[in-house]
Amino acid sequence: MSVKYDDFESLKRDCLNCAACELAATRTNVVFGVGDPRASIMFIGEGPGEQEDLKGEPFVGRAGQLLDKMLAAIDLDRTKIYIANMVKCRPPKNRDPLPAEQDRCFGFLEEQIRLIDPKIVVCLGRIAAMRIISQDFKVTRQHGQFLERDGRLIMGTFHPAALLRNPNQKPEAFEDFIAVREKLKVL
């Protein structure tokens, strides 16, 4: 998709009506994104899970509850940020989105980023970081490292669902969130 949208509502309308890949056939809802469309910071996950598919909103299950706690710890909440995913429809059984599925949705995400124009993009987890930062991104080694691209800072960190499975990584993830807060202060 190489369509440039003039406004967020047109982008959202087209995304909600998308049937470009097989994920459309099994979704309950398109999970476009949530938050302030003028936010300085944007968080990007890999794709909706079961709860997100049912509600039509990203990060509303247990991983979302953890994300909300981490945001609150750095004085942020969903009204001050924007949250989206690489793919807008739930992959079956919460599997990783396939490259072809990511390709079909990536234009929507690119337009979300362009229209929101955040100062900081945080990739939540390996899938988002591999697509946005580098194909060989290793979250355990490269989390918390900022790079500048297209006039914005981009960083990858642990996905909240991974932190639920591996709680020993929470302190490292929290340090990444503190680094985001510090960067926001100087931007």
**The predicted structure's pLDDT at residue 94:** 86
Mean pLDDT of 44-69: 96
**The predicted structure's pLDDT at residue 130:** 97
What domains appear along the chain, each with residue ranges and CATH number? 8-186 (3.40.470.10)
Of 44, 45, 34, the C-alpha closest to 12 is: 34
pLDDT tens, 70-116? 999 999 999 999 999 999 999 998 899 999 999 999 999 999 999 99
Statement: residue 128 has pLDDT above 90: yes
Of 1, 3, 11, 47, the C-alpha closest to 27 is: 47
Q: What percentage of residues in the chain have a pLDDT greater than 70?
A: 99
Q: What is the largest CA-CA distance in the chain?
A: 45
Statement: residue 3 has pLDDT above 90: no
pTM: 0.96
pLDDT tens, 61-70? 999 999 999 9
Statement: residue 1 has pLDDT above 90: no
Mean pLDDT of 134-160: 97
Burial class (CB in 10 A: 0-12, 13-18, 19+), 141: exposed
